[in-house]
Structure 1
């Protein structure tokens, strides 16, 4: 996400500012990783991934709306371009949340989180197509390595041999693509208003879309189920605090550093799946996961060092 000049951090030294900012980014990534695990529990209990995504976003909307109410300066809500690009961001985050939990429901937390981490690759491919970015040998090699990692992770090289279904793999990749759409919308909206205003619009759009697409009966049942604390925690850490932490942290965190710190998310999600959900990965899948994480992070760091920052892969 883009840097923003407004920052609630005001420590005494630049070093302390950078340290606290990096901590905020790490906390956001940790929250996202845990949210994947919680989503795995809920979808494993039979809850519709779209309904799970709706409550995650709806509770997050309350948080960002409160943030906007506390810091309304320079919101830009009267700017049509802010609304246009924020609407696009809302479509992206709706797809990101729902496809992510769909991938978890059909596969595993580790696979879903790692595939979503491929978002910067989609950014590059779209940029190449629109001639916004110049292809280089390093970029193409990195993209090929990520694709090879996806093949190893999903097991699609052997017909019927892979443990990851086509739906799980496709939904995981679509969650990454949707996140890339969210980033494009957010970055284009950023010059026209505050990040909290953008998130309010985006989360409102997302909540409306997922409410209409979700199972109406399950949406109502959540309010009386014994699982409601998990839905509440998911919304608080997975969309409320995490996005606020992330944006605050990026104010004083170098994009390259943020890209590396963001690896906390897929690693946390994978550990959650293995330790809590008793999910497992084969050696080849682990190799594919490592290849994806290392290559995408290196690609992001390389791009940021050349002055063309990609979104930190979350």
Structure 2
């Protein structure tokens, strides 16, 4: 992909660049964690998860449009393949946002965020099926460990006593699967255009889909509700600055480091739920959460060390 004008990071020393890049990835993960908590507040107030997701994506669209306007070089907007795969990425991110907030509304922020963090497992399973990744014993054991963590976290082994409803668990896993769709769409679009152009198309697709699926009355009511500042903060943190920070940060951050730093998201979301939403988790749930987070991170680090990270990340123009 053609490279545009140098980013501000490239004028700094290599050590400072790496440090700032890692900080950007951490800020993105922290912002996504906070967005889960804010989404929990809004859905707790009775707002439709689809409407909450719509505004998160719509505000994010404004930010990536501005990014594309500032750096239009190498956009690839003339490429039909870029449009197609970007639209697939848009379907993925629309499902990711909506199922995530639905899981929060039906369960808790901690459970939803952790289940969404299972996305790399779905990526590996699809990659195995398509022949993009070679299955190994380590990968299968890691996937099994994540599945065990899901069982402990959701409590599905004891239906009568489980605090997590089937809808909450299913939506949480669906959000992870949707994020995997976004990853593949973004991966296949990347060779044909710039990240900012891909995100513009993806968020535009999200806005069109969720506007049609959402409650029209609630969509309009957001504009005059006292809660509108939360919607703005959600959009800025959850889709605007966070995606830009993450993509720019990945330019100079090793995939293994990014995988570890990304744990900031579910940890932040879980702490937000406990402190501000009075959510609680049992001992087995906490163990299951830790098992998922540590295993997914180890799987990502292992993949990076084998130079088989999924997917390879594009550079920001």
Bin the TM-score by the shorter chain.
Answer: over 0.9
Distance across 1 between alignment mates of 2:7 and 2:189: 18
Show the 5 A alignment for 1:95-244. Answer: 95-244=95-244
Report the secondary structure of 1:10's partner residue: helix
Residues 34 and 268 of structure 1 are in contact (CA less than 8 Å); yes or no, is this contact kept in structure 2? Answer: yes
Distance across 1 between alignment mates of 2:32 and 2:8: 22
Structure 1 residue 134, shift from structure 2 partner: 1.5
**TM value normalised by structure 1:** 0.97
Aligned CA RMSD, in angstroms, stands at 1.3
Residues 120 and 311 of structure 1 are in contact (CA less than 8 Å); yes or no, is this contact kept in structure 2? Answer: no
Structure 1 residue 12, shift from structure 2 partner: 2.9
1:69 aligns with 2:69: yes
Distance across 1 between alignment mates of 2:208 and 2:96: 15
Structure 1 residue 128, shift from structure 2 partner: 1.4
Structure 1 residue 7, shift from structure 2 partner: 3.2
1:18 aligns with 2:21: no
1:246 aligns with 2:246: yes
Q: How many residues get paired? A: 310
Contiguous gaps of at least 5 residues in structure 2: 313-317
Distance across 2 between alignment mates of 1:141 and 1:60: 37
Structure 1 residue 135, shift from structure 2 partner: 1.1
Contiguous gaps of at least 5 residues in structure 1: none
Q: Per-residue CA shift, 1:62-86, capped at 9, x if unaligned?
A: 0000000011011010110110100
Distance across 2 between alignment mates of 1:13 and 1:311: 27
Distance across 2 between alignment mates of 1:195 and 1:137: 34
Structure 1 residue 311, shift from structure 2 partner: 4.9
Report the secondary structure of 2:8's partner residue: coil
Equivalent residue number for residue 256 of structure 2: 256
Equivalent residue number for residue 303 of structure 1: 303
Distance across 1 between alignment mates of 2:14 and 2:127: 34
Distance across 2 between alignment mates of 1:64 and 1:53: 16
Distance across 2 between alignment mates of 1:134 and 1:170: 28
Distance across 1 between alignment mates of 2:165 and 2:222: 28
